[in-house]
Structure 1
Amino acid sequence: MMVRPPSIEEAYNWMLEHLESGALTPTELSRALGTDLSQRVLLFLNYLVAQGLVTRTSTGRQVSYASGRTAEITRLLQTQAQAEAKGKPIEAPEITGIPEALVISAPLSLADKVTMLRDRYPTLTILDMKTAFKELLGSARRKLLLALPFLELDGLMYFTDEIVGLGRRGAVVHLLTRELLLPRQSGYSYHQKLKAFAKFIDLYASGGGDRQQVAVRDYTIRIGAASDESLLYEGIHQKMVVADGKRAYIGSGEIRAASFISNGDVGVIHVGRKAQFWQDYFNLFWSEADVVPYTFFQESIG
């Protein structure tokens, strides 16, 4: 008989119980909650540290969290639960103050070795790729920038709730990609890519957002004549997620299932001034890219 994994609310309650009884360590979190939930709780703990509600102590290579203000944390969680009861899903806390992080993804065959490696660096904030993307998409309030050269439907399905939430909040979304208007080939993969971008926009709209708030642009420049078999292209290859100009993911992984389950991918999350630089870097390409209207997807997909 399979044991049902705890919900995020149950995970937060477990966190509170252990904060009340003494110090809590990342190792204890991982053992009790599993990788995905423990990383979400750890991110929330670091948010609480930034808000002064939790104390983070480092002793050598060991990190622990403690708090004498669990009543205030409980009220914060109750406020979120009330919002959920009114039909508004629990949103990630504001991202201000959450520390920088390393972001990783590895094939399942290396899972045990990756866990051992992470345990050797307990003072570092290390996030799973999927968890990092969920937190960034789920916490952007005003503007989200995404550089996605190879967006795929199978990866998009991991983040349906977060994209619907962007529409609910009315956040502006900029999607930067390549080879939509000038594809090298227009076969199955190309049409799946078109469907992925259209699906993103439709998910946003299903949350009550205006499709016009999601802008798509294509940075692709042909070098040489179209008839030249050795035709070269300039295009984006960077993978980026910038949330409200405050946090920015830069790395090799993007919204593709392979980046979460089968590839070795890495990245970093920068905050503050570094995140502002990455926002400006994104905008260098955005300002030179061609607009791809929603009607283009409708007409191309049929």
Structure 2
Amino acid sequence: MNSEKLNQWVVDTFEKNGQIGNELDNVSSDDRESINFLLNYLVSAGFVKSEKIGTRINYVVQDLDKIKEFLGLNKKTEIISSLQDSTVINLPLSMHEKLISLKKNYSDLNIIELKDVFKKLLNSASDEVLIASPFIEIDGIAYILDELIDSASRGVSFKILTRDVLVKKSYNNTHTKKIKAVLKLYELFDQYQSNPNAFMEIRDFGEEVSDSHLNKLHYEGIHQKLMIVDKKYAYVGSGEIRSPSFLSNGESGYLTTGRQAEFWYDFFDIFWSNSKPVSKDFSFTL
């Protein structure tokens, strides 16, 4: 499910049952991760109460109207008439009213929310999408799921650059979400791509640098967050394909076009050319 459907599922289930517990057994494991993140965030905001019953956690609704307002279910999708140089931001959902006020005070500027920019960029792609997302996670894909599928079905190719996928280390939950994201992206592309000449390739740029005695000196890795489309448009900023970037974090960046986009394309290519491919049959014991 995409993020809008996930949000609606949460609200509908709360309206019907007043709580969410066993109902999570009826959704896919990927959707369950996204829903759990959202539910725990609603708990922290005070709109939902969590109760542990045995080994299971039940989420009991406290203020359904506030949740609907919080998730912006009645909010109209922001229409971006064309891709142009813009300021890109995200505020935590709890600060939504402040976001509205900020945009109103600077109505002379092109201010766009992060999720809307990612959606618009993907919808505008006709040839190639480059993404640098060092901490990409499976639950973030839900926010741009429809746009990823549509792009693949139009024959768009993808180059996705991340880090720490191939490194041999003890994986924590964040790494597990990243591995799942990589596998899900390949799965979606193979399922929906329509052009045999189009491709998706995911690469890993991250390496420990040691001296001749194998003493670790430092770590080289990507930290930039980019989305570049057709070498014409580029998003540069702090936000990336993770639930926190769309839901609970403050993020900032900008959308640029023309020669600036060409610069970021070449900047991306420097890292891409020195990265290691992550094959489709990459496997890891999760």
Question: Counterparts of 1:119 and 1:35 in 2: how far apart (Å)?
Answer: 16
Shift of 1:167: 1.4
Aligned with residue 221 of structure 1, among 177, 185, 207? 207
Q: Contact 1:155–1:257 at 8 Å: present in 2 too?
A: yes
Aligned with residue 247 of structure 1, among 233, 243, 248? 233
Aligned with residue 115 of structure 1, among 100, 103, 115? 100
Q: Contact 2:155–2:198 at 8 Å: present in 1 too?
A: no
Shift of 1:36: 4.9
Aligned with residue 219 of structure 2, among 230, 233, 243? 233
**Mapping for residues 80-229 of structure 1, pairs under 5 Å:** 98-209=83-194, 213-224=199-210
Amino acid paired to 2:126: R
Question: Counterparts of 1:206 and 1:124 in 2: how far apart (Å)?
Answer: 40
Residue 255 of structure 1: SS of its match in structure 2?
A: coil
Question: Structure 1 unaligned runs (5+)?
Answer: 1-32, 48-97
The size of the alignment, in residue pairs, is 213
Residue 182 of structure 1: SS of its match in structure 2?
A: coil
1:273–1:244 CA distance, 2 compared to 1 (3 A)? same
Residue 205 of structure 1: SS of its match in structure 2?
A: helix
Q: Contact 2:129–2:158 at 8 Å: present in 1 too?
A: yes
Shift of 1:240: 0.2
Q: Contact 1:147–1:175 at 8 Å: present in 2 too?
A: yes
Question: Counterparts of 1:255 and 1:144 in 2: how far apart (Å)?
Answer: 14
Residue 179 of structure 1: SS of its match in structure 2?
A: coil
Question: Counterparts of 1:34 and 1:116 in 2: how far apart (Å)?
Answer: 18
Question: Counterparts of 2:143 and 2:200 in 1: how far apart (Å)?
Answer: 19
1:159–1:111 CA distance, 2 compared to 1 (3 A)? same
1:194–1:300 CA distance, 2 compared to 1 (3 A)? same
For 2:248, the equivalent position in structure 1 comes to 262
Note the alpha carbon deviations across 1:198-234, whole angstroms, 9 max, x for none.
Answer: 1012112221346971011111121227x97966310
Shift of 1:189: 2.6
Question: Counterparts of 1:232 and 1:156 in 2: how far apart (Å)?
Answer: 31
Amino acid paired to 1:176: L
Shift of 1:148: 0.8
Aligned with residue 287 of structure 1, among 273, 276, 280? 273
Note the alpha carbon deviations across 1:156-175, whole angstroms, 9 max, x for none.
Answer: 01111111112111111000
Q: Contact 2:209–2:216 at 8 Å: present in 1 too?
A: no
Q: In the alignment, does 2:255 pair up with 1:300?
A: no
Question: Counterparts of 1:229 and 1:191 in 2: how far apart (Å)?
Answer: 28
Amino acid paired to 2:201: A
Question: Counterparts of 1:301 and 1:171 in 2: how far apart (Å)?
Answer: 31
When normalised by structure 2's length, the TM-score is 0.69
Question: Counterparts of 1:136 and 1:245 in 2: how far apart (Å)?
Answer: 11
Q: Contact 1:165–1:204 at 8 Å: present in 2 too?
A: no
Note the alpha carbon deviations across 1:134-183, whole angstroms, 9 max, x for none.
Answer: 11122211000000100111110111111111211111100001111115
Residue 284 of structure 2: SS of its match in structure 1?
A: helix
Percent identical across equivalent pairs?
36
Residue 295 of structure 1: SS of its match in structure 2?
A: coil
- Asked which structure has the greater RCO (Cα within 8 Å, sep 6+), the reply is 2
Note the alpha carbon deviations across 1:22-80, whole angstroms, 9 max, x for none.
Answer: xxxxxxxxxxx96552x22xx12xx3xxxxxxxxxxxxxxxxxxxxxxxxxxxxxxxxx
Shift of 1:109: 2.5
Residue 288 of structure 1: SS of its match in structure 2?
A: coil
C-alpha RMSD of the superposition: 2.4
1:272–1:169 CA distance, 2 compared to 1 (3 A)? same
When normalised by structure 1's length, the TM-score is 0.65
